[in-house]
Structure 1
Amino acid sequence: MDAAARPSEEVVVVLQNLVRTLRSLLGRIREEEARENNEVFNQQCFWDTLGQTFKVISQEATKLSLAFSKPPLPLVEDCQKLSEGLQNAVLAAATMYCWLPKSQGMTLRKSIRGAIAEVVDGTIQLIEVILSTPLQSLSQEQLMTTGGVWESCEQVSCLPRDNRASVLLVITEYLGVVKDALEEMEQAQADNMNPFNDVLEDEELGAPSNQDAYWSEADQQLLAPCMGLMKASKACLKKVIAAVKAHGKADTPEHVAQLDDLADIANEVSPRLQNWLQC
């Protein structure tokens, strides 16, 4: 490959340093604990600023990707400017997350943290693709990772704006898990009504070869109460969602904390269902 299509060692070092910085930042974002803040929180200002930082990240990531899409590749000075622009944009988004006070809700903070972490992770993937892909032309992988950063940045418009909306989203997701688990159990029960239906016989033994895949008598005795618990969980989560929609508020620290408690309780449903299905 022509030397003009390869980044210089100095440019490679700049990009590698950027990856290390972003990885370190990603770890801090995931470990950041909520802080108390006595200042008045301006919700509209927060979301306007966060949305702007995501736009800047998308723009800076695009600049970097285009700069390494074809020869001649940027010189080390230009690469340093591109790197600093992208790094500062990501730092601005992380700073916004740190500014979000605990009083706004832990569930809301988790949703924003997840969105920012996804953007940072996508940005890291883009840089790693640039470092690993021969730069004779814009590769499909580079196009996909660049698009991945765009998509992650655009999701800020879909994030819940307060803890009530965030908790509703979380509990609705848990309800979906319960529904899927219940459907899986109902299908398994239906399949077991005629255990050897449509099963090919073992050529040597003349008997079905996968009997172990069906419910034993002991399993069948447990199936009904397990499904009953799933149906009860489904009904309960539906009622919780209806109650939050009708009466949930995020206007005081007490109301916000109550919503977080609901999300924590609902969070216990999913792993328990997974344990049942794996038994």
Structure 2
Amino acid sequence: MIESYGNVVAESLEFMQNLCNKLEGAEGNENSLENFDLGKFWVSLNSVVQRISTDVTKLSLILSKPPYPTAGELSSLLQPIQMQHNQLSSLFFTLPKELGLVLRSEVTTAVTRITKATYDFIKYLGQFTSQRNCQEQLLRLTGVVWEAREDIGKLPVDNRAAVLQILEAEEDLVLDALDEIQEVVSSEKESREIGGDIELIWNNEELELVQECVSLVKTSRALCQKLKTSVQNHGKCQTGHQAMQLDDISESIKKLSPAVDDFISSMYPPCSINNIRSNAVALSNVMESLLNQAKNSHFVPQEEQQWVNFLSLATTHNCNKVQPSTTNDSYSPLIILKDLSLK
């Protein structure tokens, strides 16, 4: 019969809960970047989470078969796990804010996850018995700790890499939305060519307007591509100002796919042309804001400002085509996108 671990587990959980609370309210270190070595930070971080995983696995294996540890022995086995988590927490709080908010958020999430995974593992020890299903559950919880350790190994190396992940995810969302509406429009046109008693989505006027709308969505996708390429080629985070510019563009880009979704949703019946036009303006405003940020950033150097101007013209042109009164301009968005190798 296994000795009750209740008191030992309660003490350990209190310790782990305090660490979780500290992480949830974490705002990062205000220290300068001058004396901080990010490379050394990653080495230390991966080393400590590996030790946590090893110690949790060791305890899990000990509990997999008799003789089971006494409460005192369990307390001794939990001590190194707590010590490693305390070191992990201390290490996290050395990460300067100036490295970037996106990176800090990623690290916070990953460190919190492994801390909570260990908390759940320890919590289960309070109800552990020698029954097979309990041992299987303990192995499952050990696996969650392993997964959390692996996630830390996959963290972006700096704020530039962290922001690139957001830009790539946003581009995927916009591309999915674009593919969807293009497929629907293509199917609609094929149905019209076939003729017969086929229920159509739009009348002629609506279909013409929707096709004009697609051009604006294409431009938004092109904007995603160019922002991602610019950050990839020129993005830096050696200074707090550079990291802040990357943080800002990551926050702004998150507004793009919701604006695209609202715009495309308004194209479907019941079709309101006023709503379509209103959503076109809202989308173009988001795009123009992104373009202005890009133009004044370190990751779009002066010699590459041309694409910003091109996409600004394309945005205005395609938005105007959706409006009731358009201004005459001589710029074709298709030509612009071709010039940018984005057609």
Class of the TM-score when normalised by the shorter of the 2 chains: 0.7 to 0.9
Q: Percent identity?
A: 29
Length, aligned pairs only: 257
Q: Which residue of 2 aligns with 1:235?
A: 222
* Distance in 2 separating the partners of 1:27 and 1:223: 51
Contact 2:60–2:138 at 8 Å: present in 1 too?
A: yes
The aligned runs of 1:17-166 (5 Å cut-off) are: 17-38=11-32, 40-132=35-127, 134-137=129-132, 139-166=135-162
Give 2:168's aligned residue: 172
Is this contact kept in 1: 2:60–2:142, CA < 8 A? yes
- Asked if 1:266 is matched to 2:253, the reply is yes
Match of 1:257 in 2: 244
Listed one character per residue, the Cα deviations across residues 19-38 of structure 1 (whole Å, up to 9, x for unaligned) are 34323422321321123103
Task: Please say if residues 122 and 148 of structure 1, whose CA atoms lie closer than 8 Å, have aligned partners that are also in contact.
Answer: yes
Higher relative contact order (CA 8 A, sep 6+): 1
Larger radius of gyration: 2
What secondary structure, in the 3-state scheme, does the structure 2 residue paired with 1:74 have? coil
Q: Deviations over 1:4-55 (max 9, x none)?
A: 3xx41xx122223333432342232132112310351112221111111111
Q: What TM-score comes out, normalization by structure 2 length?
A: 0.64
Amino acid at match of 2:31: N
Instruction: State the Cα distance separating 1:225 from its structure 2 match.
Output: 6.9
Judge which range, 125-134 or 42-51, deviates more.
125-134
Aligned-pair RMSD on alpha carbons? 3.2
SS at match of 1:161: coil
Letter in 2 for 1:150: W
Q: 2:65 corresponds to which letter in structure 1?
A: K
SS at match of 2:88: helix
Q: CA deviation at 1:239?
A: 0.7
| Most deviating of 64-73 and 125-134 | 125-134
Moved more, 246-255 or 69-78: 69-78
When normalised by structure 1's length, the TM-score is: 0.77
Whether the aligned pair in 1 keeps the contact of 2:63 and 2:135 (CA below 8 Å) is no
- Number of the residue aligned with 1:202: none
Q: Compared with structure 1, are the counterparts of its residues 41 and 186 closer, same or farther at alpha carbon in structure 2 (3 Å cutoff)? A: same
Q: 1:160 to 1:220 in 2, by over 3 A?
A: same
Residues 97, 109 of structure 1: 8 Å contact kept: no
CA distance in 1, matches of 2:264, 2:68: 53
Alignment gaps of 5+ in structure 2: 192-198, 267-343
**CA-CA distance at 1:226 after TM superposition:** 6.5
